[in-house]
Structure 1
Amino acid sequence: MIDARLRGRMDRKFGEQHLMREREKRLYEASVDGSVNSLKQLMKEDPLALARASVTCFDETPLHIAAMLGHLDFAKALASHKPDMAMIMTTAIDLQGRSPLHLASANGHIEIVNMLLSLNSNICLICDEDGRTPLHLAVMKGHVEVTRELIRARPEVTGHKLDHGETILHSSVRHNRLGALKMLVESVREAEFINARDDYGNTVLHTATTLKQLETVRYLLSGNMVEVNAVNESGLTALDVIEHMPRDLKSTEIRESLSKAGALRARNVPANGEREIAMVIEESRLDSVAQPLDVSPRVGLFSRGISNKTDSENKENWLKGNRDALMVTVGVIAAMAYQAGLNPPSGVWQENNIKDDEGNIIYKSAGTSIMAVNYPDGYPKFMAYNTFSLVASLSIVLLLISGLPMKKRIFMWLLMVAMWVTITFMTLTYLISVRAVSPDHEHPYINRVVGNSLSVWLGVIGFVLLVHTIRFLMWCVREVQFRKKPISIKSCLRDWVSNLLSCK
């Protein structure tokens, strides 16, 4: 008797559990299909079906499924059944910590987003297991309208940061969502928000430049709130970032856009104190009529400092851009000079004591230069010129790899003079070699060619020296005008040498 009652209770319990599982399955299928009629029929059979689902469905609730699939009518039916139950379902999270608003935002279902926000706008601030709000998912997927509605509901959600301090602007750029970025900037319109930094000191302009997003960079620069010369924790501005990247069409266009917007390398960005001095000088310039004697010298010094810094940067950029090409060039010249020294024109004697055409024995050592016998007057010149060319080219290599501060003018001048010497003596070596390997009856013609070539070469060198002399005289004139008093040639030369030894 007792066993029969116990068996009856167990059968009823199993029957109820089977019925509940069957209703949960029907509720899930109605959610997937978005069938409002199936939901109503189920609620008639069991008014507590939704309440049980909110307790037993640990993965996702019916509202999660409706929000994910965009079933607006079904979502409204769920929300209208019981208001208090609707509030619980809007804040429910799945196994990844996502609310129904997360799923609706990620899939761009704007109507469901608006419905959920009308029920509870605080769900904008719920974060999933990765720390992302519904706004992050909408921005990452590029849903601009959803982004607008989420910001309108709770504007403070734009200040939420992810790991490593990544802001919502960083997320939009990292996923290349320019439309969402524009919506965020236009909705907030605060310089502090646009120039916010992550834990590495990178602004959104740094990130866009790193990812070579040309249109994003141009949009950020088109406004007047972005800080163009912000320096990150690595000591780099946006212009530094693009300068360290491989050269291609995009990087070139980004570099041009940054330069037009006034971007500078980090080493050229003035410190706070320098900015204040610049402001004081600018204010003083406005009062120059009242105080001409006090202001003009400071303005001149400041302007000269900027000009010298620009000239130094141009020289350093020139050297960096041509360093590799210069190293290859002098390497080739050194190899040619080395080879010419060991194997002069006409070669070397192959054996000892050879005979001439008349049968006479010529006492020579194998491996010695034939040119030394056939052209005794030119061989010493050839070896001297070739040695000068080799030593000068090796000196250039030493200067380039020595680690010396090449932005100092003295080293730039040494490099230039060494290159002059190398090319000049290499040219002379070539002309003597041509004469040595030419027949005797061609020597008059060769002499004319050599003479004309030397004349042209000396003319080029003279022209270069003339240009530098004119530049030196112009520099002396500027010094006289700047100092407002007579200056001697000796003083000019002393200041010029001092200027060469400076880094400016």
Structure 2
Amino acid sequence: MEKMEKNLYEASLEGNINTLLMLLQQDPLILERVTLDRHGDTPLHIASTLGHTNFIKEVITRKPNLAMECDSQKRVPLHIASAKGHTEAVKLLAAANPEACDACDRDGMNPIYLAAVKGHYEVVKELMQTQPHAARALVQQDTILHLCVKHDQLDVLKLLIEIMNDHEFLNTKDAYGNNILHLAVADKQVQTINFLLLTTTIEVNATNNNGETSMDMLAKVPRDLKYQQIMQSLTRAGAVEAQSSFTQVPQNSRTKMGLDSFKYHKKPTYAQYSREELTENDDWLNRKRSSLMVVASLIATMAFQAGTNPPSGVWQGDSSNDPLRKTGFAVMPSNHPTLYHVFIICNTTGFVSTLSIILLLISGLPFLKHRVFLWVLMVTMWIATTSMSITYLVSIWVLTPTPNSESFRHVAVGITGVWIALMTLLVVGHTVRIITVAMGKLLHRKRTILSPTLMNHVEI
């Protein structure tokens, strides 16, 4: 008898229908006997784990009640097939006994919950068609929508919301009072947040047990690119902080103002103003840093190219009379030694300056968010662009023939000189402005410190 049971389990592992039929001919009650004698996985559980569809079909056709047998974790075969994503096996097991869709394991999870957590789209779709009310069960006060967000299963979330189309269920709160938007914001799931705000009736300003809205949840997460995207999405959707105050407008005033369709006027708080100003400041700095990165990369590429391929090119042959005339050496040192020194110094300065900018921008240092640092980057960029301008002038001077084109040299020098002068004036202006602002803040701080002392002397 033990040998027959062993053969049955081996047949379930392999999905061997012939062995199953042979064993059933020898002992028609072998399936019931195995179920009674063992408290772990039944052959149907094993076949469901491996997705042996034909084996499952043969077993439940003969013994449909086996679809409700539980293993040691109180899981029926449909739990296993759903968690593994075996859609065809799910169809067979759910059709054999639809009550299996409502069965809960030791963790309180039914088959559709397991499929949703694992992201098995087709399985969820099949179970929703078979037993849609199973998706409305709660697991420790979490709905299936909460679990989809917690496990970042956006496709399944979209499917469930579309099929259920239930505003109340969509806005159900968990044990902590969080709706699914709270959870999505806390986990910075940008795509999920945009889906909920744009295509569903989620309550944007619902509060949890701590009195926090989705905007309050956002204030707790680290500030990065996702933070900025979520802030923009929530702001467009009308999200506010929980402490924002609302003043009701009298009915007659609302009628006179043409605001019958509005019930409340929102009064922004100081915290909200500060957050908006900080967000705008961060956006501005991010745009400036991105622009500097692009320009610095371009100038570094130009400087590298000019350094490895100098004006007039390189010698193509050796000369016994001139030690500088060697194959691969620059032609310019032989013909214009002084200008070549200027060229090398300016080109290297521009190259190193732009590399410094790139290194600082990608370093992620905390002080990079201050405007003073942006001024330092601007000065460094001025040095780089000025150096590259002089490099260009030297190149034009060397490559322009004389004496017929002497006027072209002077025009190039004049235009570039004017440009450098304007850029220098701009940098000086910004420097004076920063110094003026810093001095103003310093004087204000001194007045603030001295004010209590002066008041004490007046009182005395």
Range into which the TM-score falls when normalised by the shorter chain: 0.5 to 0.7
| 1:202-351 equivalences in 2 (<5 Å) | 202-268=178-244, 270=246, 274=248, 280=251, 285=255, 295-296=256-257, 306=266, 309-310=267-268, 312=270, 315-317=273-275
Residues in 2 aligned to 1:262 and 1:222: alpha-carbon distance in whole angstroms: 12
Residues 205 and 240, structure 2, Cα contact 8 Å, conserved in 1: yes
Is 1:23 paired with 2:78? no
Residues in 1 aligned to 2:45 and 2:10: alpha-carbon distance in whole angstroms: 13
Gaps of 5+ in 2: 282-365, 372-439, 453-460
Amino acid of the structure 2 residue aligned with 1:36: I
Shift of 1:393: 5.5
When residues 318 and 74 of structure 1 are mapped into structure 2, their CA distance, relative to the original with a 3 A threshold, is: closer
Amino acid of the structure 1 residue aligned with 2:447: A
Amino acid of the structure 2 residue aligned with 1:240: D
Match of 1:130 in 2: 107
Residues 186 and 218, structure 2, Cα contact 8 Å, conserved in 1: yes
Question: Secondary structure of the residue that 1:31 maps to in structure 2?
Answer: helix
Task: Pick one of 65, 69, 74 that aligns with 2:46.
Answer: 65
| 1:72-151 equivalences in 2 (<5 Å) | 72-81=53-62, 85-87=63-65, 89-151=66-128
Amino acid of the structure 1 residue aligned with 2:33: R
When residues 258 and 50 of structure 1 are mapped into structure 2, their CA distance, relative to the original with a 3 A threshold, is: same
Question: Secondary structure of the residue that 1:135 maps to in structure 2?
Answer: helix
Shift of 1:141: 0.7
Residues in 1 aligned to 2:132 and 2:252: alpha-carbon distance in whole angstroms: 42
Residues in 2 aligned to 1:310 and 1:225: alpha-carbon distance in whole angstroms: 24
Match of 2:22 in 1: 41
Shift of 1:199: 1.2
| 1:427-442 equivalences in 2 (<5 Å) | none
When residues 68 and 391 of structure 1 are mapped into structure 2, their CA distance, relative to the original with a 3 A threshold, is: same
Is 1:392 paired with 2:447? yes
Residues in 2 aligned to 1:222 and 1:319: alpha-carbon distance in whole angstroms: 25
Match of 1:191 in 2: 167
Amino acid of the structure 1 residue aligned with 2:202: V
When residues 389 and 281 of structure 1 are mapped into structure 2, their CA distance, relative to the original with a 3 A threshold, is: closer
Amino acid of the structure 2 residue aligned with 1:227: E
Shift of 1:116: 1.0
Residues 145 and 180, structure 2, Cα contact 8 Å, conserved in 1: yes
Shift of 1:31: 0.2
Shift of 1:264: 1.1
Residues in 2 aligned to 1:69 and 1:42: alpha-carbon distance in whole angstroms: 21
Residues 101 and 123, structure 1, Cα contact 8 Å, conserved in 2: yes
Amino acid of the structure 1 residue aligned with 2:225: L
Residues in 2 aligned to 1:221 and 1:119: alpha-carbon distance in whole angstroms: 40
Residues in 2 aligned to 1:150 and 1:140: alpha-carbon distance in whole angstroms: 14
When residues 178 and 224 of structure 1 are mapped into structure 2, their CA distance, relative to the original with a 3 A threshold, is: closer
Residues in 1 aligned to 2:26 and 2:252: alpha-carbon distance in whole angstroms: 84
Residues 124 and 134, structure 1, Cα contact 8 Å, conserved in 2: yes
Deviations 1:45-80 (A, max 9, x none): 111111101101210111111111000000111112
Match of 1:411 in 2: none
Question: Secondary structure of the residue that 1:267 maps to in structure 2?
Answer: coil
Match of 2:37 in 1: 56
Residues 142 and 180, structure 1, Cα contact 8 Å, conserved in 2: yes
Residues 210 and 241, structure 1, Cα contact 8 Å, conserved in 2: yes
Match of 1:160 in 2: 137
Amino acid of the structure 1 residue aligned with 2:73: Q
Amino acid of the structure 1 residue aligned with 2:64: A
Deviations 1:279-313 (A, max 9, x none): x569x53xxxxxxxxx34999xx99x64xx23745
Residues in 1 aligned to 2:37 and 2:64: alpha-carbon distance in whole angstroms: 16
Shift of 1:317: 3.5
Residues 281 and 298, structure 1, Cα contact 8 Å, conserved in 2: no
Question: Secondary structure of the residue that 1:266 maps to in structure 2?
Answer: coil
Residues in 2 aligned to 1:102 and 1:174: alpha-carbon distance in whole angstroms: 20
Deviations 1:238-281 (A, max 9, x none): 1111122211011110111111111111122649xx4xx58x56
Amino acid of the structure 1 residue aligned with 2:238: G
| 1:397-476 equivalences in 2 (<5 Å) | none
CA RMSD of aligned residues (A): 3.2
Deviations 1:131-173 (A, max 9, x none): 101011100110111101111212211221112x111001011
Residues in 2 aligned to 1:221 and 1:259: alpha-carbon distance in whole angstroms: 11
Residues 229 and 269, structure 1, Cα contact 8 Å, conserved in 2: no
Bigger-Rg structure (1/2): 1
Task: Pick one of 177, 183, 194 that aligns with 1:201.
Answer: 177
Query: How many equivalent residue pairs?
Result: 295
Residues in 2 aligned to 1:281 and 1:261: alpha-carbon distance in whole angstroms: 28
Amino acid of the structure 2 residue aligned with 1:130: D
Question: Secondary structure of the residue that 1:44 maps to in structure 2?
Answer: helix
| 1:162-177 equivalences in 2 (<5 Å) | 162-163=139-140, 165-177=141-153
Residues in 1 aligned to 2:164 and 2:258: alpha-carbon distance in whole angstroms: 45
Question: Secondary structure of the residue that 2:35 maps to in structure 1?
Answer: helix
Residues in 1 aligned to 2:450 and 2:45: alpha-carbon distance in whole angstroms: 74
Q: Percent identity?
A: 36
Amino acid of the structure 1 residue aligned with 2:236: K
Amino acid of the structure 1 residue aligned with 2:32: A
Amino acid of the structure 2 residue aligned with 1:153: T
Residues in 1 aligned to 2:185 and 2:156: alpha-carbon distance in whole angstroms: 18
Residues in 2 aligned to 1:389 and 1:264: alpha-carbon distance in whole angstroms: 34
